[in-house]
Amino acid sequence: MRIALVEDGTIGMGGIRRYQRELVRVLAARREADLEFVLYTSDPLAHRRDTGGIATRFMPPPRWLPWHRWVEPAIRSALAEGAGYAHLLTQAPVPALPGIIVTLHDLAPLELAPPLGGTWARRRLFRHRLLPSLRRAARIVVDGPSVALALRDRWGVPEERIAVIAPGIAAHFQRKAPRTERAPFVLAVLGAEERKGEDVIRRAWDSADAPRLDLLIVGGRKGGTGDQSATVKVLRDIDDQTLSRLYSRAAAVACPSWAEGFGFPALEAMAHGTPVVATSIAAFEDLVGDAGILVPPGDSAALSSAIGRISTDRALALRLGERGRRRAARFTWERAADELVALYKALP
């Protein structure tokens, strides 16, 4: 059976891009006698990536159309070329076509009002197009149990149509042994969306009780580099090797999000044995658990206090770091591929 992997090649840095690229890589490395994979992408540079030799179809999207409107012609091409199923690797409304699997990464536009949850247009897209279209999907893959529960309990999606398949940790983020000496800074790897909590962590550093550490923001809002100070620095567009070095050197990693479906920065930090301070949202309760300190979303004082505890209590930092390493070891892309291949083979 041929499986078409349909990705958004225009998406910038972040968890969804990492999910797409790692999943394509690990599936391409498999040798399944009864499965064949073909990548359909809008990424014009896909031929330069490590796709494991998987057959690739480049389909440039019309400039005047958003990515989700490119999905249907891409899937029609895949089905016409012999694909039994098409797997959308990022959330988009499911076209009225047979044999479609979709990965739904989060429900933030429905859980949070704009601007925290995104734009009003994105909220309407989710509520009026994406959610109703899920009934047409053969299966819905989600990254974590919190999204699965919300789909079932709040949005009425039958449980048997939902598969929880957690992402993994990329090989270059796996550390054999964590550093025992840490640099005096806290790392926050943030997207540009309001829900990532950049305002919250900046307030923590603006307060009188700010942690006695520097704050290094990787990513964040576009144009935010002007908001740097003596203790707050911003980096853009760094490669994974540089990011790995920052994870391994940081005294702690802060994840101040208001909503997440999974949380790659928390997982990557734990893989490095770096203590995590995250918000007490369902995704982090599942992912981080007792391997970090969880604080209420939006509470900059609690965030600052938790970071202060880690920076002054070496035994606590080491204990959380070791718990995080053990917890992160459960998340591998090979396991994710095993579960996804089993899902594909169980389809009629």
Rounded Cα distance between 8 and 118, Å, is 18
Statement to judge: residues 149 and 177 lie in one domain: no
Q: Do 215 and 308 have their domain in common?
A: yes
Q: Which helix (H) or strand (E) holds 19?
A: helix 15-28
Other C-beta atoms lying within 10 Å of the C-beta of residue 264: 24
Q: Are residues 206 and 260 in the same domain?
A: yes
The CATH number for 294's domain is 3.40.50.2000
Residue 61, pLDDT score: 73
Distance from C-alpha of 235 to C-alpha of 61, rounded to nearest angstrom:
30
pLDDT of residue 65: 66
User: Is there a single domain that holds both residue 273 and residue 230?
Assistant: yes
Please provide residue 28's backbone torsions phi and psi, each rounded to the nearest 5 degrees.
-65, -30
H-helix or E-strand spanning residue 123: helix 120-124
What span, in angstroms and rounded, lies between the C-alpha atoms of 308 and 132?
Answer: 45
* Domain count across the chain: 2
Same domain, 161 and 188: no
**Structural domain span for residue 51:** 2-168+332-346
Measured distance CA(285)–CA(110) in Å, rounded: 20
Q: Phi/psi class of residue 58: alpha, beta or left (left: φ > 0; alpha: ψ in -120 to 50)?
A: beta
Determine the Cα–Cα distance for residues 59 and 43; give it in Å rounded to an integer: 8
- Beta strands of 266-332 (E only): which ranges? 276-279, 292-295
Among 334, 292, 344, 343, which Cα is nearest to 167's? 334
End-to-end CA distance of the chain: give it in Å, rounded. Answer: 11
Domain shared by 58 and 106, yes or no: yes
264, 235: one domain: yes
Q: What angle do CA 119, 121, 126 make, to 5 degrees?
A: 100
What tens-digit pLDDT sequence spans the chain (348 residues)? 999 999 887 777 788 889 998 999 899 888 788 999 999 988 877 777 777 778 888 888 766 666 667 888 889 899 999 999 999 998 888 888 889 999 999 999 999 999 888 889 889 989 998 888 988 899 999 999 999 999 999 999 999 999 999 999 988 887 666 666 788 999 999 988 899 999 999 999 988 777 889 999 998 875 544 577 778 999 887 888 999 999 999 999 999 999 999 999 999 999 999 999 999 999 999 999 999 999 999 999 999 999 999 999 999 999 999 999 999 999 999 999 999 999 999 998
Q: In this structure, are 314 and 339 located in the same domain?
A: no
Task: Compute the Cα dihedral for 290, 292, 298, 303 and give only its sign.
Answer: positive
Task: Quote the tokens at residue 289.
Answer: 């658990």
Asked whether residue 338 falls in the same domain as residue 323, the answer is no
The closest of 42, 137, 23, 133 to 85, measured between CA atoms, is 137
Q: 87, 104 in Cβ contact below 8 A? A: no
Domain match, 132 and 274 both: no
**Domain check: are 38 and 149 in the same one?**
yes
| Contact criterion met (CB below 8 Å) for 63 and 4 | no
Distance CA 331, CA 291 (A): 14
> Which amino acid belongs to residue 294?
L
- Is residue 177 located within the same domain as residue 316? yes
Query: What DSSP designation does 130 have?
Result: I
Report the alpha-carbon distance of residue 160 to residue 155 in Å, rounded. 14
